[in-house]
Amino acid sequence: MTDSDPQFSGRVAVITGGGSGIGRSIAARYAAGGGTVAVLGRRPEPLAETVDLIRAAGGQAAAFPVDVRDYEQVSAATEAVRDRFGRIDSLVNNAAGNFVCPGEQLSAGGWRAVIDIVLNGSFHCTRAVSETMLAQGSGSVLSVIASYAWHGHPGTVHSAAAKAGVLAMTRTLAVEWADRGVRLNCIAPGPTETAGAGAALWGDAESRERVLASVPQRRMAGPGEIADVAAFLLDERARYVTGEVLTVDGGQWLGKQVYGTPLAAIR
């Protein structure tokens, strides 16, 4: 590939939710670094679009339609990736489902749907690739969560609980597998310019302005910015980093103001 950083040359990544948004950007960034990408997701069409974009740029990619809620599907898909490419070096747990809903209005089905995709899906994928990574004695797992996994946020009890579970899973397995060459970390993006997040979390102009006002940098991230940070954590440059969560949110979760005139009103 032209103008590429060969940091992932000879390596293979499995990326869930790779058909759009942050997942697609991470897939493109990994491929631009010389790596081979296997994108997983429920809908074949967006996955095919991601593969076409990567191949058009000179990269290597393949699509594997799968429902991360079903361990048997996940296991079969990761086995197919290993059989086709010979190894699995990285996993990005990016598949997610989210919507805003007050806890007293959240149905059991809504709770279960988000927990199933985010928490169970992340475990299914991590468990499935672990056999290959532990046998190789190397590997890196990166899970995409959110800062409300530790500080909470009204209307996100289902998603916050699921992502907090992913963080706990990450830190536990980071300790279990540290001396076997497998690292696990999380990334917590803030508001990011993607179609999915925009529709679910700031679907109108007023909501968007409210979100922007909560970010000290007064802007949203581009998916490529998130992908660059993900690439660092997946790279060998971060080989001594495990069990950590890196927040990429323009200072949003730190900038909650309770006292005094809101900074946005005096600038």
Annotated active-site positions, please? 148
| Separation CA 43–CA 28 (nearest Å) | 18
The continuous run of DSSP H or E covering 96 comes out as: none
**What ranges in 192-257 are assigned the alpha helix state H?**
195-201, 205-213, 223-234
What is the arrangement of strands in the sheet containing 36-41, beginning at the earlier edge strand? 60-65, 36-41, 12-16, 90-93, 139-144, 182-189, 245-248
- Residues 88 and 135: their CA atoms lie apart, in Å, by 11
φ/ψ of 65, rounded to 5, equals: -60, 130
Name residues whose C-beta falls within 8 Å of residue 96's C-beta, 6 or more positions apart in sequence. 17, 117, 118, 144, 159
